[in-house]
């Protein structure tokens, strides 16, 4: 997620910012080790392809849903008064409702669009070359998309049937769907993953690029996880360990650097997310009642369905909200 790092660097950061920069780098490698540990556990334990739902149930309350529910607090931080907050959150809600309308009319198309949107969102939010930055160049969007294609479509390349299953369940909430063709899906996914690797490779060739080791180590861990872990575990682990947790560590006010220690900032994000988190969780739990199957599986599918309609406003907000924050104030912790 595009969060709060000043695109000019840490010129406004307080003394000791080098320590936190070093901490961020080490945290990136720690996340890679966590993904590899999960991969090793899956190799040893051999969980069934449909397992992993409990990971998404946990994400409802810890890191996953809170990182998105923080949007309302961030809107308040970028607004000079409550009227502006209401107007901006109304626009946010209208985009969400438009996504819901698209899903109800064309559910399969909405799912495909979501996967590519999520690839772009994960990529520019998490790549070592774009995370925490705003006003990205077109080439940088391509680099982020490349990383996201590897992250999102590797599970489909290795385990197409199990990867498709939750999305088929989501589409069938609205209308019947012809039996998908796993072989064709796997072929398309392989092509998209190769395109992703090509885009990241092109960026790596630039002599000014640092962070190559962390970027490629992360992608290698993602591919290994996708090959051996159930799809819900693979994408859920990345979502929690790298994407959502990373956002909780960094997020403050769009366009302004964060000076909080990382874990304390993550706790603050969870607390600030509560006003939007509560209704979001209730919506997911209510929708899960209409999905057949075990309760944890139904909640996981419901959560993914919620993401299909909520990702676009979330993504657009963090890509553009830095333009709104000018003149709000220099204190990144002051709620307006």
> Based on the number of CB atoms within 10 Å of its own CB, is 30 exposed (0-12), middle (13-18) or buried (19 or more)?
exposed
Determine the Cα–Cα distance for residues 173 and 163; give it in Å rounded to an integer: 17
Q: 300: pLDDT confidence band, cut at 50, 70 and 90?
A: very high
Q: Which two tokens stand for residue 118?
A: 């999520």
- Res 212 pLDDT > 50: yes
Lookup: tokens for 243: 């994407």
pTM: predicted TM-score of the whole model, two decimal places? 0.85
- Within a domain: 4: no
Return all residues near 328 (Cβ < 8 A) that are at least 6 apart: 77, 78, 79, 80, 253, 336
Q: Decide if 170 is inside a domain.
A: yes
Percent of the chain with pLDDT over 90: 56
Checking if the pLDDT of 15 tops 50, the result is: no
In a domain, 279, yes or no: yes
Q: Does a structural domain hold residue 2?
A: no
User: Which pLDDT score, from 0 to 100, does residue 115 have?
Assistant: 97
55-64, 68-77, 123-132, 320-329: which range is least confident on average? 320-329
27 in the Ramachandran plot: left (φ > 0), alpha (ψ -120 to 50) or beta? alpha
Residue 255 lies in a domain: yes
Is residue 82 included in any domain, yes or no? yes
pLDDT in tens, 58-107: 999 998 999 999 999 989 888 888 998 999 999 999 999 999 999 999 99
Number of domains present in the structure of the chain: 1
Residue ranges making up the domain that contains 75? 17-45+54-323
Q: From CA 336, how far away is CA 218, in angstroms rounded? A: 38
| 58 CB-side CA count, 13 A | 13
Residue 331 lies in a domain: no
Predicted confidence band of residue 322 (pLDDT cuts 50, 70, 90): low
**Domain-embedded: residue 306:** yes
The CA-based angle 99-105-110, given to 5 degrees, is 50
DSSP 73: H
């Amino acid at each position: 997620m595009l969060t709060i790092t000043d695109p000019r660097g840490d010129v406004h950061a307080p003394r000791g910012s080098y320590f936190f920069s070093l901490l961020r780098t080490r945290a990136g490698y720690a996340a890679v080790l966590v993904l590899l540990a999960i991969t090793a556990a899956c190799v040893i334990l051999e969980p069934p392809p449909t397992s992993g739902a409990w990971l998404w149930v946990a994400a409802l309350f810890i890191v996953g849903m809170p990182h998105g529910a923080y949007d309302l607090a961030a809107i308040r931080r970028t607004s000079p008064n409550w009227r502006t907050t209401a107007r901006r959150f109304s626009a946010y809600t209208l985009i969400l409702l438009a996504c819901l309308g698209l899903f109800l009319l064309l559910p399969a198309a909405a799912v495909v669009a979501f996967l590519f949107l999520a690839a772009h969102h994960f990529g520019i939010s998490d790549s070592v070359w774009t995370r925490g930055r705003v006003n990205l160049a077109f080439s940088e969007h391509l680099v982020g998309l490349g990383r996201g294609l590897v992250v999102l479509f590797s599970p489909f390349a290795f385990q197409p049937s199990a990867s498709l299953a939750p999305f088929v369940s989501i589409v069938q909430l609205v209308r019947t769907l012809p039996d998908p063709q796993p072989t064709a899906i796997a072929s398309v996914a392989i092509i998209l993953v190769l395109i992703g690797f090509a885009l990241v490779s092109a960026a790596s060739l630039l002599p000014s690029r640092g962070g190559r080791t962390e970027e490629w180590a992360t992608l290698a861990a993602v591919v290994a996880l996708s090959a051996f872990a159930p799809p819900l575990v693979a994408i859920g682990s990345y979502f929690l360990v790298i994407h959502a947790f990373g956002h909780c560590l960094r997020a403050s006010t769009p366009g302004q650097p964060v000076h909080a220690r990382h874990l304390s900032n993550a706790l603050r994000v969870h607390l600030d997310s509560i006003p939007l988190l509560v209704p979001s969780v209730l919506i997911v739990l209510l929708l899960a009642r209409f999905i057949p199957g075990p309760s944890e599986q139904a909640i996981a599918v419901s959560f993914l369905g919620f993401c299909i309609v909520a990702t676009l406003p979330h993504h657009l907000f963090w890509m553009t909200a830095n333009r709104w924050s000018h003149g709000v104030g220099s204190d990144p912790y002051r709620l307006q």
